[in-house]
Structure 1
Amino acid sequence: MSSNRPNSTADDQLDPEEEKRLAAAAREANRLPELRLVLLGWRWPGKSLTGNTILGREEFRLERAAEFSVKRETEVDRRKVTVIDTPGWFSAQTTPEDYKQEIVRSVSMCTPGPHAFLLVIPVGMFTETDRARIEENLAMFGEDVWKHTMVVFTWAEILKDKSIERHIRREGRDLQWVVDKCKKRYHVINNYIFGEHPQLPQLMAKVEKIVADEGGYFILKADETKTQSQTPSLNTNSVKENRELGARPKQNGSCNSLRAMDVDPPQSLVEGVSD
């Protein structure tokens, strides 16, 4: 039986350069005009330094620990990028309610919702306590937050010639659990490069894939919003009392030379508010 399908000939095949051009055009057509990112992680400079790396400049000051969520914006490759830096959580104790309230507020600071949460984890020893802290703090956003979360590994120079995949395997089930919860979405970034950063286009592409896979940006569900509205109002004195309680991580010596981060309160709070 003859087929109605025309025979393919060599003339029907596109040359490699034309294929690249069409692929680039397709990517541009599906490209998000804006990316909204929320940084999550411990009370140490690596999280906020990652925000500075994405922005290409020092917007989040490295003086002392952040007490408030702060929004900064930039343009990367003709696209608006919004970065929300949140207060870091504590290493060896439950995160105070004041900090939790401020972390969750990050969602409302990038309306209609963040495209991705970047969970910043330093390369180094990862313990069961670390996993528990991550699980505890992401639970504030509801179970769906994991669908929109990507692990960002920092201080990759510690790996030397070892791949990040090997590091994940060697660190054991706790780190593997976190990566699996994030659907094996992870990225490695060098925090010492500003400006034309070679790893940023790949990071943005991975964020766009999250949006495509999940059908859009993260939305905080009504029941989660209600739960958070019942938490105590922000108590500045309590925040100050807790400011010096523990920072992460002690195992990475290169982190110790960095100062913790200081971010000014937002005006609304001042006025009342992939081996």
Structure 2
Amino acid sequence: MATAAPDDVRPLRRRNSFGFLPPEMSQLRLVLLGNSWSDRSSVGNLILGQTQSKPEEEPNTCQRVRGQVEEKEVVLINTPDLLHPHISQHKLIQHVGNCVRLSDPGPHVFLLVLQPEDFTEEHGLKLCTVLQLFSDRSFDHSLILTSTPQKKRSRFREKPNKNQPLKDVIRICKYRHLELKNLELPELLTRLGQIVKENRGEHVSVDVFEDPAETSPSDHQSVKQPETQTSITDAGKAVGLRALSLLSSQTMMSGIKPPSPSK
């Protein structure tokens, strides 16, 4: 991540503001999710207008950076690969808990940076689980950004409209979707502003991880204090029930079957 001082907020861009956020909002909090650190970093750098994170240096903790865009403060929380097939439930909940504290009092938008050629049913289920850990409302606050397939995998190129699991996730997020190829900042900011306005400027509240006694960490820091065993266990049970209920009752992912409850 950048070596700037934790609270160093610089005006990265000064243009005629087109009001991408409601005038009463002075800060926009974004969470980056996905299994490619390089792509997530590129999105963060696009938004903040300069290299805030190095694509080749993936951290194993959630990290936060701030900047000013269109006279508004933007807080970016970049996460580790929470869609990794071998990540444990304990570690997943711990990362989400850290992300919640870094985005206190809650994120406004989740940026889901996905790769069409790699996105599988397993990724779809894990992504739903991660979003459910935050809140049932996370899907209403999500924007999907799909990357361009890598050249070395060109023979396996698959567009979003050909990948059923990815199509299902796009549908869950009410078709909020942009392609990263040739994406420019004004278009991205406009879509972010639309999501914020659709949700009346409200952020996602994550009650299960709230800890009133804990102070908010400074920028570029990761939260090292883990959840207690009790809170991790309770959160794990809660997310399992919420995720199964969401996927089953609303039948939102026709191509992705919900996992069977563990015995």
Q: Is 2:209 aligned against 1:225? A: yes
Q: Is 2:78 aligned against 1:85? A: yes
Q: Is 2:231 aligned against 1:269? A: no
- The whole-number CA distance in structure 2 between the counterparts of 1:54 and 1:171 is 27
| Kept in 1: contact 2:108–2:196 (CA 8 A) | yes
Given the superposition, is the C-alpha separation of residues 108 and 183 from structure 1 closer, same or farther in structure 2, using an over 3 Å criterion?
A: same
How many angstroms does 1:120 deviate by?
Answer: 0.7
2:137 to 139, 144, 153: 144
Q: Is 2:165 aligned against 1:178? A: no
| Greater RCO, 1 or 2 (C-alpha within 8 Å, sep 6+) | 1
- The whole-number CA distance in structure 2 between the counterparts of 1:29 and 1:118 is 16
Q: Is 2:187 aligned against 1:202? A: yes
How many angstroms does 1:115 deviate by?
Answer: 1.4
The 5 Å alignment of 1:52-63 reads: 52-63=45-56
1:135 matched to which residue of 2? 128
The 5 Å alignment of 1:238-249 reads: none
- The whole-number CA distance in structure 2 between the counterparts of 1:70 and 1:60 is 10
Given the superposition, is the C-alpha separation of residues 35 and 101 from structure 1 closer, same or farther in structure 2, using an over 3 Å criterion?
A: same
**Count of residues in correspondence between the two structures:** 197
How many angstroms does 1:117 deviate by?
Answer: 0.6
The TM-score, its normalising length taken from structure 2, stands at: 0.63
Q: Map Cα deviations across residues 191-210 of structure 1 (whole Å, 9 max, x no partner).
A: xx8xxxx6111111111111
| Kept in 2: contact 1:153–1:188 (CA 8 A) | yes
- The whole-number CA distance in structure 2 between the counterparts of 1:127 and 1:25 is 39
- The whole-number CA distance in structure 2 between the counterparts of 1:95 and 1:86 is 15
How many angstroms does 1:127 deviate by?
Answer: 1.8
How many angstroms does 1:90 deviate by?
Answer: 4.3
| Kept in 2: contact 1:38–1:117 (CA 8 A) | yes
Partner amino acid, structure 1, of 2:38: P
Partner amino acid, structure 1, of 2:185: L
| Kept in 1: contact 2:36–2:81 (CA 8 A) | yes
- The whole-number CA distance in structure 2 between the counterparts of 1:267 and 1:137 is 19
- The whole-number CA distance in structure 2 between the counterparts of 1:101 and 1:61 is 24
The DSSP-based 3-state class of the residue aligned with 1:269 is coil
Root-mean-square deviation (Å): 3.3
How many angstroms does 1:33 deviate by?
Answer: 3.3
Q: Which has the larger radius of gyration?
A: 1
Runs of 4 or more, structure 1, over 4 Å off, are: 24-29
Unaligned runs of 5+ in 2: 1-15, 152-157, 213-218, 226-263
Partner amino acid, structure 2, of 1:50: V
- The whole-number CA distance in structure 1 between the counterparts of 2:118 and 2:56 is 25
* Structure with more of its chain in helix, by fraction: 1
Partner amino acid, structure 2, of 1:225: F
The DSSP-based 3-state class of the residue aligned with 2:77 is strand
| Kept in 2: contact 1:87–1:103 (CA 8 A) | no
Partner amino acid, structure 1, of 2:204: I
Partner amino acid, structure 2, of 1:145: S
- The whole-number CA distance in structure 2 between the counterparts of 1:116 and 1:105 is 17
2:65 matched to which residue of 1? 72
